Amino acid sequence: MWNIDTILTYLNIDLSRLRDVFLYDPQAPMIFSSGLFLWLFAAFVVVYLLLQRRTTARLLFVTLFSYYFYYKSSGTYFFLLALVTVSDFLIARFMERTTAKWKRKLWVTLSLVINLGLLCYFKYTNFFGACWASFTGGHFDPLDIFLPVGISFFTFQSLSYTIDVYRKEITPLSNLLDYAFYVSFFPQLVAGPIVRARDFIPQIRRPLFVSNEMFGRGVFLIMAGLFKKAIISDYISVNFVERVFDNPALYSGVENLMAVYGYALQIYCDFSGYSDMAIGIALLLGFHFNINFDSPYKSASITEFWRRWHISLSSWLRDYLYISLGGNRKGKIRQYMNLIITMFLGGLWHGASWNFVLWGMMHGVALALHKGWMALVGRPKGERPHGIRRFLGMLVTFHFVCFCWIFFRHAEFSPAVDMLKQIAMAFRPQVFPQLIVGYWEVFALMGLGYVLHFLPDSWERGCTKTIIRLPLVGKAVLLVALIYLVIQMKSADVQPFIYFQF
């Protein structure tokens, strides 16, 4: 007599192991490039298509899947996502019902306290405690506080909604499900991009429609992101960059310098790869996100770099922090100070460490100096240099960004200083040929990554159009071939995205 246990035994299926796959594993948070996500997403799409004409049911299904996705990333801390969602939804509703400015200000202040309070507790308690102990000469024992994945992203996203309601730039939602869908939408939930309510909310209840162009562009972005993350970023990280950064004093200056160039490419491919996949998945589901990276290492100034790098964060800091501080409305000196303060807080947003603070301050000072220089020479705002001037600007900007990445990557100052000492005092260029031979696969991928990055934008548009014109079978074959390549090149467990820690 056949029963379920007999069938499972015959098929060699262990229910306990199968159950463990679907439970939260702190050692293996679910990410887009994992095999489990690919299988879950395939099942998700089937249900999503079945619900395409039932808008409310579809929104509820996606929201529940998004919460499960977050559970697989941070365990039971998904309740924080629910807390932020419910509190900001109600606060926005209360703001709409009052015309008194002081009451509206009180409500938006409450939203700031809740969101930034959660962020400060989970991310900065130990940092501030250690700073206070150092300042007062006391002792502080770090608390065992888990940092929920993506808390910096969904708190900032929810804050943009309440602040926009306070400024009367948008009308608050009347349906909690719609707001929960907006805050928790899984493609961008744990590592951005930070999606503005004004851009996303009008799309929520539109009839589901995915054009051939949207589908093709979505497939292209998913493939591009997977290639950047799982092939270039993970491979050069595991096989070269991490080794040097973990022990810079053991390597020559030329090896350290190449590791810095490698990390610049690694963090770009890692984070822009996630953004590409998030934007691509959203397109397949019928939603549009704004671009989050625009070939940032092509920038000829630090100002241009921040218009191309992590655009959703830099524009958030500009609109909700820099402008709130006064922007450029209160004189040049105040403008420069506002830039430095904004980037100081932007550095602190990335992590509870003085290294991140220094990284943000260096970028803030560089932005202020560039603004001052542009004002001094009288160049029009937004003017971009050309020819040799642009080339030299790109060279200087890239190396300044790389210099700052050294402090961003290291958790403490001493290894960052060791790396700079090795580059300055023990360069040993004669080991370069041996280095290339010994790590030829790594440097081949680095070369490919930088070549692809600096290709003209028209090439990317041409590749996108080619993918769009391919039949469905052709798109599927390309995607399967890429997944096979990822599996063949994987030399360790799936590497978490760098920005998961922020």
The reported pLDDT for the residue numbered 331 is 80
Return the pLDDT at 14: 56
Q: What is the 3-state secondary structure (H, E, C) of 236-250?
A: HHHHHHHHHHHCHHH
> What tens digit of pLDDT does each residue of 15-40 get?
555 566 667 776 667 777 676 777 88
Q: What is the pLDDT of residue 13?
A: 53
Kindly tell me if the per-residue pLDDT of 8 is higher than 60. Answer: no
Q: Among 62-66, 191-195, 368-372, which is the least confidently predicted range?
A: 191-195
Task: For residue 433, say if its preceding peptide bond is cis, omega within 30 degrees of 0.
Answer: no
Instruction: Using a cut of 0.75, tell me whether the model's pTM lies above it.
Output: yes
The pLDDT of 108-134, averaged and rounded, is 89
pLDDT tens digit sequence for 44-63: 889 999 998 899 999 999 99
Q: How confident is the model at residue 37, as a pLDDT? A: 79
Average pLDDT, the chain: 87
What is the model's pLDDT at position 375? Answer: 81
Residue among 149, 127, 140 at smallest CA distance from 77: 149
CA nearest neighbour of 454 among 308, 307, 309, 295: 295
Mean pLDDT, rounded, for 55-79: 90
- Catalytic residue list: 350
In contact, 352 and 404? CB cutoff 8 Å: no
Alpha-carbon span 266 to 273, nearest angstrom: 10
Confidence of residue 501 (pLDDT cuts 50, 70, 90): low
Lowest pLDDT segment from 232-241, 272-281, 359-368, 492-501 = 492-501
Residue 16: per-residue pLDDT: 57
- Alpha-carbon distance 199 to 185, whole Å? 14
Whether the predicted pLDDT of 470 surpasses 90: no
Reply yes or no on whether the pLDDT at 88 is more than 90: yes
| pLDDT score, position 494 | 55
Q: Are 195 and 188 in contact (CB under 8 A)?
A: yes
Does 381 have pLDDT greater than 70? no
Per-residue pLDDT tens over the stretch 166-202: 999 999 999 999 999 999 998 888 777 889 999 999 9
